[in-house]
Amino acid sequence: MTSRQDFDKSTTSEEVVAAFSNYNAGTTILITGVSPNGLGAAMAMALASEHPAQLIFTARQIAKADEVVNVIKTNMKDPPPIMSLEMDLSSFESVREATKRLVEQKITINTLINNAGVMALPHRTLSVDGHEMHFATNFLGHWLFTNLISSNIAQGGRIVNVTSGGYMICPIRFHDIDWEGVEALPQEEQPDFAAAKSLGIGSLTSPGDYNGMLAYLHSNAASMLLSVGLTKRLQSQGISTLSAAPGVVITELQRHIGSFRNATMEYKTATQGAASLLVAALDPALQSRSGAYINDCQLTEIISSHVQDEQVANRLWAVANKMTNCNF
Ligand SMILES: NC(=O)c1ccc[n+]([C@@H]2O[C@H](COP(=O)([O-])OP(=O)(O)OC[C@H]3O[C@@H](n4cnc5c(N)ncnc54)[C@H](OP(=O)(O)O)[C@@H]3O)[C@@H](O)[C@H]2O)c1
């Protein structure tokens, strides 16, 4: 159970941060992907008002993070120290460089929110390291960053992996992880086409075909499995990892699908969407719930066995180690 059973889809980030202000004050919180009008900015602005020791924003375009820093500094009487750091999650080199800077400065992180993401690239795109861009950015970059920085995460710390409510639609395609177009995917790796259609993604038929929305949902499943993998490795150090979904919020995320609208979907404001991510980051009652999933500000049942399976998580972990030439 969360501490606040009264919180729901309409709860705002400001309400969450005020409720858990004792756990925010004096801590260092790092958010990836902070840019104007995004959920990262919504979290940042709410968190800044409750006296954290330090906020760290990462962005692939540092000017975007700095714009959020300026808004906070302009509008707040006593803003906390804020560091902005360039990190392109789709590049191993950039992730390593950013981590090096944090490690050199001996930064201790209490809360890490893996928020950055890209969605629905219309054409299959590869990262500089040669991997499908949604997988590379949303999962692999965060996997590498979290592992590289893990010894700087405080005992009793918290990691939040941001995913989406569609995490169950596209299981990990171990036979075609970079969407090269393998038709003969085993049944258990094929997307749920009916569920994809009901989400408004369109009529899809061939498991081999690249589809930007499916590639995004694939990376969301990987983010859920990152929580499983980190729970296994960090829970014994008192570090909890949760997955959280914001619901649907119009942000820059939809830049590649301008006309995407689904009449059955309920839209939230950015502060409402970010609220679920902040419950996952701050609620002390969730410290013992590593691996759990937060939606609409409450613990929510994970309805896919694939994204909770430790064997699948281990297999994905091994893939990530191989892709990054690491041995975590
Ligand atoms: N909005 C929704 O409806 C919704 C629903 C479910 C889940 N989510 C998740 O919520 C998170 C935040 O999304 P949002 O709605 O706030 O979207 P957003 O406004 O587009 O923010 C995403 C952030 O990620 C950054 N990013 C993209 N590619 C990157 C890369 N290669 N390296 C580093 N940063 C990168 C973006 O930077 P640039 O501006 O430079 O691209 C931006 O700062 C994402 O993980 C998203 O998948 C959102």
For the stretch 168-211, pLDDT in tens is 999 999 999 999 998 689 999 999 988 888 877 777 778 888 99
Q: Which residue's alpha carbon is nearest to atom 21 within ligand 1? A: 38
Q: In testing the pocket of ligand 1, which one of 9, 69, 250, 251 has its CB within 8 Å of the most ligand atoms?
A: 251
Within-domain flag for 6: no
Within-domain flag for 139: yes
Q: Which residue's alpha carbon is nearest to atom 42 within ligand 1? A: 33
Q: Which residues contact 140 (CB under 8 A, 6 or more apart)?
A: 89, 127, 131, 320, 323, 324
**Mean of pLDDT values over 198-227:** 89
Within-domain flag for 118: yes
Q: In testing the pocket of ligand 1, which one of 58, 118, 227 has its CB within 8 Å of the most ligand atoms?
A: 118
* Pocket, ligand 1, Cβ cutoff 6 A: 33, 35, 37-40, 59-61, 64, 88-90, 115-119, 137, 162, 164, 245-246, 248-249, 251-253
Closest ligand 1 atom to the C-alpha of 61? 40
Q: How crowded is residue 73: how many other Cβ atoms within 10 Å of its Cβ?
A: 12
pTM of the model as a whole? 0.98
Dist. CA 83–CA 92, nearest whole Å: 21
Within-domain flag for 320: no
Within-domain flag for 192: no
Q: Can you give the CATH number for the domain in which 216 is found?
A: 3.40.50.720
Residue 259 has pLDDT above 70, yes or no: no
- Cα 236 to ligand 1 centre (Å): 30
Closest ligand 1 atom to the C-alpha of 253? 20
Within-domain flag for 207: no
Residue 260 has pLDDT above 70, yes or no: no
pLDDT per residue as tens digits for the range 74-107: 999 999 999 999 999 999 999 999 999 999 999 9
- Cα 48 to ligand 1 centre (Å): 20
Per the structure, the count of domains in the chain is: 1
Place of tokens 């004792």: 22
Dist. CA 190–CA 184, nearest whole Å: 9
Within-domain flag for 258: yes
231 lies in which domain range? 13-167+212-305
Within-domain flag for 317: no
